[in-house]
Structure 1
Amino acid sequence: MKNIVRILLTILLLVTMGGAFVFAAELDEEPIIERAKILEVEEVEEGYKEEVDFFDSTIVKLEILSGDYKGQEFEILHSLSGNLAYDIDVSPGDRVLITIEELDGEVAVYISEYARDTYIYIVLAIFVVLLLLLGGFKGLKTIITLILTIGLIMKVLLPGLLAGYSPILLSIGISIVVTIFTILVVGGNNKKSYAAIIGVLGGVFVAGLIAYFVGTKVRLTGLSSQEAMMLMYIPQGIEFDYSGLLFAGIIMGALGAVMDVGMTIASSMEEIRLANPNMTTQKLIVAGMNVGKDVMGTMANTLILAYTGSMIPLLLLFTAYEDPFTRIINLDLIATEVIRALAGSIGLILCIPLTALVAGLLREKFGDDKVKEEAK
């Protein structure tokens, strides 16, 4: 119980410290965002369509469900441009987010987005329940580490980047804190956890070095996505290190998979040692490597497929227009994703022998743990 209290206090301290620094300037006025329910949708009359040319418009009646205008009903003109990426096509019964503008006593209401968060929270609740049911006390520890990770990203990483701090240094620091905290909380304070920490940090460090060296040589700009280019126009007027943001993203993206592999190898070797205490250190390292070889193929595929899956529409475009492979592979966007996937996979692969070797050397140097950790 004392350990859990310490963990919670640590999380609270870190998140509070991160939130105490005001890195980003606030906008003078924030829009009023409220929830609403669509009651009726009617076509615009023919005589009125001339005023809304080039748009498919409807008269939408909605009821506001939150805020100062809760319970009030409004009829608004809602226009569609014909672009599925931006249009919000509504039907009676839909839940939406609306933007309310108050100007000179007049109230203007606009539909700004579908309300999707309810189902997101439902899926999140299922995730938490499954963690607790199947993982028990370790599931609770996992939730605590997730809270810390999210807190560090939201309260330290993002505000720090907006303040102009080095994205690479920030991501390295957060990766170290997340790795050490997560593995020690989940795995306990023992040699197994120490081996996993060293293996994970070594693998992520190598992934970052490869990404930085190769990315510099091939002149990756970090501006291959629309979101990155939009950062040039944010109201804070910050001059970002876009290539640094790219490498920071590669480090953070590789961390999860590499941490998974490192903990898997260290835990497997610990279970093998407990099942056969008389096994020599050399055989234990070989056993860890054998486990790693099985994990290697699937986890490398995981990274490659994860990055490929996010690029399916773009790959379809290249295929449809039959662009030559030489042109495709040299595009900034494609080269960025290829290096991201390969650097992460190399870090993952190197994590296996590093974790196995460190676990074996720790056993050789300090012997087996005399007091076994209680099953949590």
Structure 2
Amino acid sequence: MLIILGLLLLFLIVVIGGDRGVVSIISLCGNMLFLSLAIWLMAAGAPVLLVTVGAAVIISCITLFYQNGTNVKTKSAFIATLLTMTVLFVFIYIIVWSSETGGLNEIQAAEEDVLYYNMDLDINMRNVAIAVIILSTLGAVLDMALTVTTSVYEISIHKPDMSIVEIIESGIQIGREVIGTTVNTLLFAYLGESLLLFSYLKMRNYTLETLLNSKILFQNCVSMIFGAIACVIVMPMAALLIGKQSRKA
């Protein structure tokens, strides 16, 4: 069934997307390849955070430059994404290490199947948790950055008499219009994925206090929250960078 659905997706992308759809498929395959390589390197004992940073940079380059070309829009989006993720990395690192939320959560640790596996992986689970958050956040940040830079660039082209301040303000306004749908997408993606989990917790009569202090809730919510924060941060950065670059061009 997964193969059928995958082939259907590829068919629709090629038919509807045309040449750009084919490029999108190649970009997706490239991202999956490097992500698989990153997982293999982590399992082989390579530094998790270093591998994560390298994978994030390569995935960003493939998504922006290969899929959308090398131009002022993608360059500004890449720099804005790089700056945002660098700032966010510090806060993710501090929060994950101080909260000690790496590894298995309460429900995963209670499953019978866990008893049959060797959990001595010789990998720092907190660093793995950081890697998961960074890579989960990256997609939303790239999307927001490219949306802002593309829109602002088109505005600057069609209205060359606008000042750089007006261009940047236009970019921020565009980001404000998009941020609501982006946050909703992140929220409902989490809720849809965790619907069965919430039903299980309800059937087990867990109290609200227990749920709010659980590792599983933190693990499920932190990527969504950091994704929303990153999208808000990258919005003015992307607008500022493309505003300056468009005027230079």
TM-score, structure 1 length as denominator?
Answer: 0.60
Kindly provide the CA deviation profile for residues 97-155 of structure 1, in whole angstroms up to 9, marking residues without a partner as x. Answer: xxxxxxxxxxxxxxxxxxxxxx322222222222223322222221121111111122x
Q: Which whole-Å CA distance do the structure 2 matches of 1:209 and 1:130 have between them? A: 40
1:214-229 correspondence runs (5 A): 214-224=95-105, 226=108
Cα 1:232–1:242, aligned 2, differ >3 Å: closer, same or farther?
A: farther
Alignment check: 8 A CA contact 2:31 2:62 kept: no
Q: Which whole-Å CA distance do the structure 2 matches of 1:139 and 1:277 have between them? A: 32
1:226-241 correspondence runs (5 A): 226=108, 230=114, 233-234=117-118, 238-241=121-124
Q: Please state if 1:361 is matched with 2:241.
A: no
Alignment check: 8 A CA contact 1:300 1:345 kept: yes
Q: Which whole-Å CA distance do the structure 2 matches of 1:167 and 1:322 have between them? A: 37
Out of 197, 207, 229, the position equivalent to 1:346 is: 229
Alignment check: 8 A CA contact 1:184 1:193 kept: yes
Q: Which whole-Å CA distance do the structure 2 matches of 1:271 and 1:231 have between them? A: 57
Q: Which has the higher strand share?
A: 1
Q: Which whole-Å CA distance do the structure 1 matches of 2:126 and 2:158 have between them? A: 48
Q: Please state if 1:213 is matched with 2:85.
A: no
Alignment size in residue pairs: 246
Kindly provide the CA deviation profile for residues 213-251 of structure 1, in whole angstroms up to 9, marking residues without a partner as x. Answer: 11222221332263999599459x631111111110111
Q: Please state if 1:328 is matched with 2:211.
A: yes
Kindly provide the CA deviation profile for residues 319-362 of structure 1, in whole angstroms up to 9, marking residues without a partner as x. Answer: 34443322211111112222222112111211111111111122
Query: Which residue is equivalent to 2:166?
Result: 283
Q: Which whole-Å CA distance do the structure 1 matches of 2:84 and 2:16 have between them? A: 29
Cα 1:132–1:280, aligned 2, differ >3 Å: closer, same or farther?
A: farther
Q: Which whole-Å CA distance do the structure 2 matches of 1:273 and 1:231 have between them? A: 60
- Tell me how far 1:173 sits from its aligned partner: 0.7
Kindly provide the CA deviation profile for residues 155-212 of structure 1, in whole angstroms up to 9, marking residues without a partner as x. Answer: x212101111122221111110110222112222111111111122233333433222
Match of 1:133, as an amino acid?
V
Q: Which whole-Å CA distance do the structure 2 matches of 1:301 and 1:207 have between them? A: 21
Kindly provide the CA deviation profile for residues 301-331 of structure 1, in whole angstroms up to 9, marking residues without a partner as x. Answer: 2112212222222212333444332221111
Further displaced range: 353-362 or 270-279: 270-279
Query: Which residue is equivalent to 1:123?
Result: 5
Match of 1:120, as an amino acid?
L
Percent of residue pairs bearing the same amino acid type: 24
Where does structure 1 differ by over 4 angstroms across 4 or more consecutive aligned residues?
227-232
Q: Which whole-Å CA distance do the structure 1 matches of 2:154 and 2:8 have between them? A: 30
Q: Please state if 1:337 is matched with 2:203.
A: no
Match of 1:338, as an amino acid?
C
Q: Please state if 1:202 is matched with 2:83.
A: yes
Cα 1:271–1:129, aligned 2, differ >3 Å: closer, same or farther?
A: farther
Alignment check: 8 A CA contact 1:262 1:351 kept: yes
Gaps of 5+ in 2: none
Out of 38, 48, 59, the position equivalent to 1:157 is: 38
| C-alpha RMSD of the superposition | 2.4
Query: Which residue is equivalent to 1:172?
Result: 53
Match of 2:18, as an amino acid?
G
Out of 292, 295, 301, the position equivalent to 2:184 is: 301
Alignment check: 8 A CA contact 1:207 1:254 kept: no
Cα 1:232–1:345, aligned 2, differ >3 Å: closer, same or farther?
A: farther
Cα 1:274–1:231, aligned 2, differ >3 Å: closer, same or farther?
A: farther
Tell me the SS of whatever aligns to 1:279: coil
Kindly provide the CA deviation profile for residues 276-314 of structure 1, in whole angstroms up to 9, marking residues without a partner as x. Answer: 222221111111111101111111121122122222222
Tell me the SS of whatever aligns to 1:143: helix
Q: Which has the higher helix share?
A: 2
Gaps of 5+ in 1: 1-118, 369-376
- Larger radius of gyration, structure 1 or 2? 1
Match of 1:139, as an amino acid?
G
Alignment check: 8 A CA contact 1:207 1:344 kept: no
Match of 1:168, as an amino acid?
L
Q: Please state if 1:268 is matched with 2:135.
A: no
Q: Which whole-Å CA distance do the structure 2 matches of 1:209 and 1:345 have between them? A: 16
1:39-78 correspondence runs (5 A): none
Out of 93, 107, 132, the position equivalent to 2:14 is: 132
Query: Which residue is equivalent to 2:28?
Result: 146
TM-score, structure 2 length as denominator?
Answer: 0.89
